[in-house]
């Protein structure tokens, strides 16, 4: 008996091989990328929404505080304007000729000489 040690590679053609292709049906509401991806995405989106909400809340608080400050400044400005009008009226009254003559006569004993009064010049 004569044995030959030879190695033969046997290959079968793929054309003859019959295999069943497994098709998976996609669910109608399936999310591409898997649930882990969408869970992470939803967490990030929730964090962004919370941050935007906090910023919006802070800005509205700052705007309200600014409006209150502006209103108080406007109220004090109107009060000062009214006080200025009152002081201007009082000044005009004090600067009138009759008031000056009255105060000069009362406090300094200075009077305007009349027509019959004699001036003495030295």
User: Residue 34 — very low, low, confident or very high, per pLDDT cuts 50/70/90?
Assistant: confident
pLDDT at 117 over 70: yes
* Domains of the chain by residue range: 35-108
CA 71 to chain centre: 17
User: Residue 116 — very low, low, confident or very high, per pLDDT cuts 50/70/90?
Assistant: confident
pLDDT at 109: 81
pLDDT at 5: 63
pLDDT at 104 over 70: yes
pLDDT tens figures, 66-77:
999 999 999 999
For 61, counting Cβ atoms within 10 Å of its Cβ (0-12 exposed, 13-18 middle, 19+ buried), the class is exposed
- Distance in angstroms (rounded) separating the CA atoms of residues 45 and 38: 10
CA distances from residue 69 to 48, 59, 62, 66 in whole angstroms, order as listed: 31, 15, 10, 5
User: Residue 85 — very low, low, confident or very high, per pLDDT cuts 50/70/90?
Assistant: very high
The dihedral over CA atoms of 34, 37, 42, 44, expressed in degrees to the nearest 10, equals 180
User: Residue 13 — very low, low, confident or very high, per pLDDT cuts 50/70/90?
Assistant: low
């Amino acid at each position: 008996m004569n044995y030959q040690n030879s190695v033969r590679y046997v290959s079968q053609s793929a054309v003859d091989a019959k295999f069943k292709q497994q098709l998976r049906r996609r669910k109608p509401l399936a999310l591409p990328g898997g649930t882990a991806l969408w869970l992470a995405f939803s967490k990030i989106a929730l964090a962004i929404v919370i941050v935007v909400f906090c910023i919006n809340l802070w800005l509205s608080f700052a705007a309200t505080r600014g409006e209150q400050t502006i209103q108080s400044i406007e109220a004090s400005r109107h009060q000062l304007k009214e006080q200025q009008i009152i002081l201007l009226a009082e000044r005009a009254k004090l600067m009138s000729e009759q008031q000056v003559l009255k105060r000069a006569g009362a406090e300094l004993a200075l009077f305007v000489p009349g027509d019959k009064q004699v001036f003495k010049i030295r």
